[in-house]
């Protein structure tokens, strides 16, 4: 049997397949469709210090092989998470990781502090890359100085595994990755959505209430893959890759490019059990190629 376990920070995952924040709710939405215990982990929806109503409708536009969203961090706040959601999801037989978002450094710190004592939350993912909020969000992920600043502040209060989620809307993602690694991030995850837009030609109006939004799905995969490869060569911490992963071949591509683990996002909407199929596909691939452990494949793309 090939080994599927991988380690991110101090967190051991049963396999490298996880689900991306904002596309998997709190996991509860998917229990009718699959056994969550088959997954390496679940990144729950973006959580902020205060409740947020998100953006106005319409928040979604379909594009060729993808979608634009402008959800805008709609969530009930971290207190609601701790009191109402955590007791329900804490017994899921998989790793539960909270995706933390904020408008100010203080927001990130205060939100994180409320998660510190939760024993079934082994890691947090700092979202410094949301393109759909006016202040904060992506702004933190677009310069090395601000990305470093927020990572440093959270690292001070958070002893668990700290994953920083990078924005692809930058000129050089590798330098941002290095700057958060230097501040003690245990891992970087990438990519968040690409800033995009769509217009209804008939009405001449934008298709999103916010005009611009975040592009995700298979249409971003080649760019995401390139970024994962660049970051893998720039840092010494594990990289978690995502962007349009819809099947095991996509997942293997990300792993070969340097991802220790992957997240499945938008494709969960199309096939809610796709992530389990990806686990099975990776397992079969390893067996077929006689590979002892999935970690042997990380960054193993052959260019010679």
Partner 1 sequence: MKQLDFTVRSNDKLNDQNHLLKVVPSDNEQLPEMLPGQFVQILVENAQHTFLRRPISINNIVPERNEIWLLVQSVGEGTQKLCEMAVGGRLNMLVPLGNSFTIPSNPGSYLLVGGGVGTAPLLFLGKKLHERGIACDFLLGGASEKNILQRSDFTAYGTLYCTTEDGSLGEKGYVTHHPVLQHKKYDFIFTCGPKPMMVAVARYAHERGIVCEASLENLMACGFGACLCCVEKTTRGNLCACTEGPVFDINELTWLD
Ligand X SMILES: Cc1cc2nc3c(=O)[nH]c(=O)nc-3n(C[C@H](O)[C@H](O)[C@H](O)COP(=O)(O)O)c2cc1C
Known catalytic residues are: 130
Q: Is 196 in the site for partner 1 (CB under 8 A)?
A: no
Q: Is 102 in the site for ligand X (CB under 6 A)?
A: no
Which does residue 209 bind out of partner 1, ligand X, none, counting CB within 5 to 8 angstroms by kind?
none
Q: Which positions from 229 to 258 touch ligand X by CB under 6 A, shown as an x/- string?
A: -------------xxxx-------------
Smallest distance from partner 1 to CB 163, Å: 21
Smallest distance from ligand X to CB 30, Å: 14
CA atoms of 31 and 253, how far apart (whole Å): 28
Q: Is 216 in the site for ligand X (CB under 6 A)?
A: yes
Which does residue 193 bind out of partner 1, ligand X, none, counting CB within 5 to 8 angstroms by kind?
ligand X
User: Quick one: tokens of 239?
Assistant: 């990289």
Q: Is 137 in the site for ligand X (CB under 6 A)?
A: no
Q: Is 165 in the site for ligand X (CB under 6 A)?
A: yes
User: Quick one: tokens of 17?
Assistant: 């397949």
Which listed range, 138-146, 173-181, 184-192, 270-278, lies at the site for partner 1 (CB under 8 A)? Answer: 270-278
**Nearer to ligand X among residue 3 and residue 80 (C-beta):** 80
Task: Find out whether 134 and 108 touch, Cβ atoms under 8 Å.
Answer: no
**Nearer to ligand X among residue 23 and residue 169 (C-beta):** 23
**Nearer to ligand X among residue 84 and residue 293 (C-beta):** 84
**Nearer to partner 1 among residue 29 and residue 296 (C-beta):** 29
Among 122, 217, 238, 243, binds partner 1 (CB under 8 A): 217
Instruction: Say which residues have a Cβ less than 8 Å from residue 154's Cβ, sequence separation at least 6.
Output: 100, 108, 109, 112, 124, 126, 162
Q: Is 206 in the site for ligand X (CB under 6 A)?
A: no
Smallest distance from ligand X to CB 270, Å: 11
Which does residue 50 bind out of partner 1, ligand X, none, counting CB within 5 to 8 angstroms by kind?
none
Q: What separation, in Å, do the N-terminal and C-terminal C-alpha atoms of the chain show? A: 29
Q: What residues make contact with partner 1 under the rule CB under 8 A?
A: 22-25, 29-30, 32-33, 45, 53-54, 56-67, 69, 71, 74, 217-218, 266, 268-273
Q: What residues make contact with ligand X under the rule CB under 6 A?
A: 20-23, 45-46, 69, 71, 73, 99, 127, 130, 165, 192-193, 216-217, 220, 242-245, 264-266
């Amino acid at each position: 049997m090939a080994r599927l376990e991988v380690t991110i920070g101090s967190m051991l995952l049963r396999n490298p397949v996880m689900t991306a924040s904002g596309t998997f709710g709190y996991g509860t939405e998917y229990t009718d469709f699959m056994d969550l215990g088959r997954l390496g982990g679940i990144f729950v929806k973006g959580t902020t210090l205060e409740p947020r109503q998100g953006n106005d409708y319409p928040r979604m536009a379909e594009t060729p092989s993808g979608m634009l969203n402008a959800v805008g961090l709609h969530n009930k706040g971290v207190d609601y998470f701790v009191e109402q959601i955590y007791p329900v999801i804490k017994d899921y037989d998989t790793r539960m990781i909270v995706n933390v978002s904020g408008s100010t450094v203080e927001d990130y710190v205060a939100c994180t502090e409320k998660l510190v004592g939760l024993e079934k939350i082994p890691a947090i993912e700092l979202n410094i890359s949301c393109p759909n909020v006016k202040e904060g969000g992506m702004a933190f992920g677009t310069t090395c100085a601000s990305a470093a600043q927020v990572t440093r502040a959270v690292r001070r209060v958070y002893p668990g595994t700290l994953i920083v989620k990078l924005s692809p809307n930058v000129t050089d993602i590798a330098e941002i990755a290095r700057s958060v690694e230097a501040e003690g991030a245990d891992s970087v995850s990438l990519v968040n959505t690409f800033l995009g837009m769509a217009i209804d030609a008939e009405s001449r109006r934008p298709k999103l209430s916010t005009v611009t939004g975040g592009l995700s799905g298979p249409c971003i995969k080649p760019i995401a893959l390139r970024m994962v490869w660049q970051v893998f060569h720039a840092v010494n911490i594990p990289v978690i890759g995502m962007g349009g992963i819809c099947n095991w071949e996509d997942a293997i591509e990300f792993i070969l490019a340097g991802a220790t683990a992957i997240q499945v996002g938008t494709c969960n909407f199309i096939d809610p059990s796709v992530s389990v199929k990806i686990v099975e596909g990776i397992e079969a691939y390893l067996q077929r190629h006689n590979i002892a452990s999935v970690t042997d494949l990380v960054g193993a793309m052959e260019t010679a």
